[in-house]
Amino acid sequence: QKEVEQNSGPLSVPEGAIASLNCTYSDRVSQSFFWYRQYSGKSPELIMSIYSNGDKEDGRFTAQLNKASQYVSLLIRDSQPSDSATYLCAPRGLTGGGNKLTFGTGTQLKVEL
C-alpha cells in the first residue's frame, strides 16, 4: 500500500465549479495534514493545513479530515483558471522522529474556461 494515495487526474472542472480532491494515507500516527499547490517547474506552495477531524475553511478552500478513515480532502469553490496546478497531499508523520512530510503523486487539476 502506498503511503499517500491520490488520483493523478487530470481532474477537469469548468470555471466557477467546485473541484474536489481526495487523499488517503497509511500512517495512522500522522497528526497534521497539509495541502500544497505546485505549478509546473515551481516549488510546492502551502495552501491549507488541518490538524483535527472535521472541516476547515479558508477563503475558497475547505479541507476535510477523517483520521478514522485515514482520509483527507480539499474542496476548491468557484474554481478559477489560475487554480490549474497539481495539488499535493502531505501528511506529517511522527514515525522516524523527523516529522517529515510524505507527499503523494498529486492530482492535476485543470480549470477550463
Partner 1 sequence: EPEVTQTPSHQVTQMGQEVILRCVPISNHLYFYWYRQILGQKVEFLVSFYNNEISEKSEIFDDQFSVERPDGSNFTLKIRSTKLEDSAMYFCASSEEGNTEAFFGQGTRLTVV
Residues that bind partner 1 (CB under 8 A): 31-32, 34, 36, 38, 42-46, 49, 51, 88, 92, 94, 96-106
Min separation Cβ 72 and partner 1, Å: 15
Closest to partner 1 by CB, 92 or 110 = 92
Min separation Cβ 73 and partner 1, Å: 18
Closest to partner 1 by CB, 60 or 92 = 92
Coil, helix or strand at residue 43: coil
Q: Please, what is the Cα angle at 32 between 91 and 7, to 5 degrees?
A: 30
Q: Are 81 and 113 in contact (CB under 8 A)?
A: yes
Pairing, β 45-50 against β 85-92? unpaired
